[in-house]
Amino acid sequence: MTDSNETRTRILEAAALVFAQKGYHETRVDDIVTQSGSSKGSVYFHFPSKEKIFLALIETFTDLLEMRLLESIEKEEHGLGQLDSSLQSSLKLFQQYRGMAKIVLVQAVGLGTVFEERRRAINNRFTAIIQARLERGVSDGSIPPLQTEIAARAWVGALNEIVIDWIYSGETDLQETLPALRTFLLRSIGVSEEKIPKTPRSK
């Protein structure tokens, strides 16, 4: 990583902390400058505005989520195993980066058209990933035939709502919802209880 990339990452890490604590509107670029230990000039060199920092954070987090999903998918052969493994790794990631999840799923919601379009695009991207796994599962026989697009959208919506509720409530361990959520989602695509692997393969 070049020095410039390191600085960019340090600024983003600082921004994640500040946004998660203060919210978008209350955060000033100066807070991020202070938190990152960089100079004002350096922050503005990388990001011309608060909005650009925020958008870069959203992109960083969704790229990370996508990478984790693709890693989990690669480990499994069948469509069903790929979906199951993706579900587990995405909940793990949200748990690990709760502050980032709050920024992407909660804070970004209140911020007008630009962000809303970004969110639509993100939802569509993850819907496409899930849909491709469902289609693979249908063709390899691990999942019975179904309308994959509707099921994929419904999964994205269901996961969104569960994670948002976890962020707001601030109470439960997100991982605790996994067994019930997993049963729910796998059943929804017609996978019988017996077919659902009993022990998660990766921790």
Q: Which residues bind a second copy (CB under 8 A)?
A: 106, 109-113, 115-116, 120, 123, 146-147, 150-151, 153-162, 165, 168, 177, 180-181, 183-185, 187-190
| Contact predicate 85/73, CB 8 Å | yes
Q: Which is nearer to a second copy, 36 or 148 (CB)?
A: 148
**Shortest Å distance, C-beta 39 to a second copy:** 32
**Shortest Å distance, C-beta 193 to a second copy:** 8
Q: Which is nearer to a second copy, 3 or 193 (CB)?
A: 193
**Shortest Å distance, C-beta 25 to a second copy:** 8
Instruction: Single out the residue of 16, 188, 201 nearest to residue 96, CA to CA.
Output: 16
Q: Which is nearer to a second copy, 141 or 168 (CB)?
A: 168
Q: Which is nearer to a second copy, 96 or 184 (CB)?
A: 184
Instruction: Single out the residue of 75, 64, 70 nearest to residue 97, CA to CA.
Output: 64
**Shortest Å distance, C-beta 127 to a second copy:** 8
